[in-house]
Amino acid sequence: MNGISITPDVVRGCGEIIAMAERYRRLFSDYPDPAAKRNRPADWDPLNPYRDSEYEDDDRYHVLQMAQMPRDLALTILKGIATPDCDLRNFYFQINRYDIGDYILPHRDSLQQGLYMLTDSEVDGLVVQSGPGRMEFVPDRAGTLIEHDPAAWHWVDPVRDHVRYTLVTIPARPPARRG
């Protein structure tokens, strides 16, 4: 398993991205979906670390994917993490919002992702497996990029401090244009 890479000051204009995301708050999708919550079976277990990483109705947070994102917000995000020499044709990104109490349960991913922190906190952050048999807490630092092995366990504890924002991208960094 690869270790984690923590790179500070990667995102430019975190405050501008957050201010714009707040204006588009109504566009975020909620997890869990209310219908999924209503339809939980009687024997539903609130924690299944081996769930499909695309299934997020056991988690509690809010997502705005790039396909649903207003153009000005998308451009502000790209201005913050990409440069003109990037090839963005196959670059995916979404912005995640965690209100107080929101969380993502322990899980592993299937694809390499980039986790960009947009807010600061001493209390809230990412818990991530940083090597074989070792877990680590990474506090929120606005602008920081975390890259970890997709097979690493990771989660976000219920948020305590204030509204938390992150970006998730696939791949982790905008690819450079070839040639």
* Under rule CB under 8 A, residue 122 binds other proteins: yes
Residue 176 DSSP label: B
Select the span of 4-12, 14-22, 45-53, 76-84 touching other proteins (CB under 8 A): 45-53
Burial 36-64 (b: 16+ CB within 10 A, else e): eeeeeeeeeeeeeeebeeeebbbbbbbbb
Number of residues that bind other proteins (CB under 8 A): 23
Choose which of 34, 35, 42, 46 interacts with other proteins (CB under 8 A). 46
Query: How near is the Cβ of 122 to other proteins at its closest, in Å?
Result: 6
Query: x/- contact string, 123-162, with other proteins (CB under 8 A)?
Result: x---x-x--xxxxxx---------------x-x-xx-x--
Residue 28 DSSP label: P
Under 8 Å between Cβ of 49 and 104: no
What CA–CA distance (Å, rounded) separates 81 from 105? 27
Query: How near is the Cβ of 99 to other proteins at its closest, in Å?
Result: 12
Query: How near is the Cβ of 137 to other proteins at its closest, in Å?
Result: 4
Under 8 Å between Cβ of 60 and 102: yes
Give the burial class of 26: count Cβ atoms within 10 A of its Cβ; 0-12 exposed, 13-18 middle, 19 or more buried. Answer: exposed
Choose which of 5, 29, 49, 72 interacts with other proteins (CB under 8 A). 49
What CA–CA distance (Å, rounded) separates 8 from 144? 4
Q: Please give the residues from 92 up to 111 whose contact with other proteins meets the rule CB under 8 A.
A: 101, 103, 105-106
Interface ranges with other proteins (CB under 8 A): 46-47, 49, 60, 101, 103, 105-106, 122-123, 127, 129, 132-137, 153, 155, 157-158, 160
